A and B are shown apart, each in its own frame.
Chain A
């Protein structure tokens, strides 16, 4: 490209490099802007309107939708369900994932097969997982009730059992993600640390709490971040398995937003719920990233 014989000055070269860099970045920036920034702003704008295109209603309403949500029992129920689902399922996934990773590392033979089996659950599309659990939970024909000794628990039709049932399905599906992350980190821990611990007379519990867990810390934070953000936005499992029922006990915020947006076609109200989810996700992401940075500085 620099076909001329003259060597440009350093400053000019730098400037040219910067311009070229920006140009090369350009398409990516434009794409990012068009695909994330623009829709975000648009949804925020929509959430300030009472907009139901089917009925020709389209007017600015300010914070009207948010005022309605503040007193809407269905919205608060959905918020409660979302938070409960997130906290419980993420906690179980992290605990289970670490245990699975430690168990994997402890395996002498068959760790490859165990890993593949574990990944299978993660690789299944979530709608397939949902359909699978629909059968597992079937009150009379399902494997789970059969394994529990033939009692007819009404998993998905009982308001007390439906959410735990969904959490269990979610844990089954995403525990492998945490397990694989942790397993990779465990493989990188030099064996001599463990040997030293053994020489010092540390038991299995002490080894786990003093060595394994602290060394997993950073990767666990990342897993926690990913899983929390995913869980806050969870939609497919409840959508397929229970439709948010019974009695809205499994309706998350995203399911509520979906129902408002695409079924009732109340674009303003649905967008307002969407903005709440967005704010929640941003808040959590910000808190985690701050914690991560602190940890990074401390390390």
Chain B
């Protein structure tokens, strides 16, 4: 009997998991992160897509919650060679990397110039690598400054254009309000991607950048040290609470949302949360560009967001591209914006009367996004960022001097990239 059982297993097992090709419907698998908000707009959109494309069925599968885990899932499955999905959501910083790895289908032939021009240029740039389009922009993010409009108005201030102005406003307001809980300026200093974004915005405001044209880290090390010294100063002087060195988006959004801070650097998602009915700061929050270091230099916020890409191994490239087009199209992006979860990459939607009625900050966010800048679009971005994170954190918490951490970061990145640059 045992022999029989084993023999049976040997015969059956390899057969499992092998799906039979048949004349049934084309089934596309879409991998995306959960879209937050009161209603998930995805199921309805997919139903619409299926109705318009008879013979095509879409199975949506939700990726893990955190960006790190999503990346892990995608990398393992794509590197394995048989991903088991056709369309996937990508954080915009992964697109060039995945394209270089040969995991993505080149979408260039199916995308017209007109279609691209409807999106923010920085979003299109993030989906472009070596002049080819590898992913279509799906939703958008930009770094911006939230301020307590009521507090500023009470003390006769307008939103600060420079950091010097902001520091002065914080000093005056805190002295006058006499509220010990009121923090000055909140930002994200935890050892993670968000810290790199905060430092990057500091570099831009200081007139320099993270990478030069040849891809070398910190082309102006002196300026980079200056940015780190400035962030340290914010903590040392109590402008920012010491705990920002462990803070991410949510742990800074909450105190600001409770009315315990004057300024917050964050992303657009927080705007609607501050205007909820039960929010203590409802009607009291303004949106402004990030402060400048020098009045003449711009201080763009970093753009971010997600794209949709098609796996190179897909068995249904035409249908998969159709789906990516549909989901990044005006109708789908409108539905997603209406659900309150994401901001569109299509510029026209920021002026849509109905959307603006529900989310009055949209036109403002449009202008801030348009002025934003994308993080370096390079396949090496994630290597650079993960190498930078502990070094930047070390400078913030004074384990290393800014000069030492900048030098160490440069050395490590050079080592990892020594024979990779094209």
Contacts and interface: CB of A to CB of B under 8 A. Distances in A.
Nearest to A68: B415
B393 A247 contact: yes
A245 B72 contact: no
Contacts, number: 131
B71 A243 contact: no
B399 interface: yes
A247 B246 contact: no
A77 to B, nearest CB: 9
B342 interface: no
A139 B241 contact: yes
A244 B390 contact: yes
A170 interface: no
A203 interface: no
**How big is the B interface, by class?**
35 or more
Contacts of A53: 79, 101
A159 B6 contact: no
A138 interface: yes
Interface in A122-162: 134, 138-141, 152, 154-159, 162
Interface string B59-72: 00000000010011
A263 B74 CA distance: 11
Interface in B181-199: 181, 189-192
Interface in A238-264: 239, 242-249, 251, 258-259, 262-264
Contacts of A152: 241-243
A57 B419 contact: yes
A38 interface: no
Interface residues of A, number: 44
A158 B245 contact: yes
A130 B251 CA distance: 14
Interface string B67-97: 0100110011001000000000000000001
B420 interface: yes
Contacts of B9: 27
B189 A263 contact: no
B251 A138 contact: yes
Contacts of A248: 191, 390, 393-394
B244 A157 contact: yes
A249 B190 CA distance: 12
Interface in B1-53: 1-3, 6, 9
Nearest to A156: B246
B76 A262 contact: yes
Interface in B162-205: 181, 189-192
Given A157-B244, A243-B190, A23 B255 contact: no
A244 B191 contact: yes
Given A56-B101, A157-B242, 20 more contacts: A20-B2, A53-B101, A54-B98, A54-B379, A152-B241, A152-B242, A157-B190, A157-B243, A157-B244, A158-B245, A243-B389, A244-B390, A245-B389, A246-B245, A247-B397, A248-B191, A258-B72, A263-B386, A264-B416, A266-B416
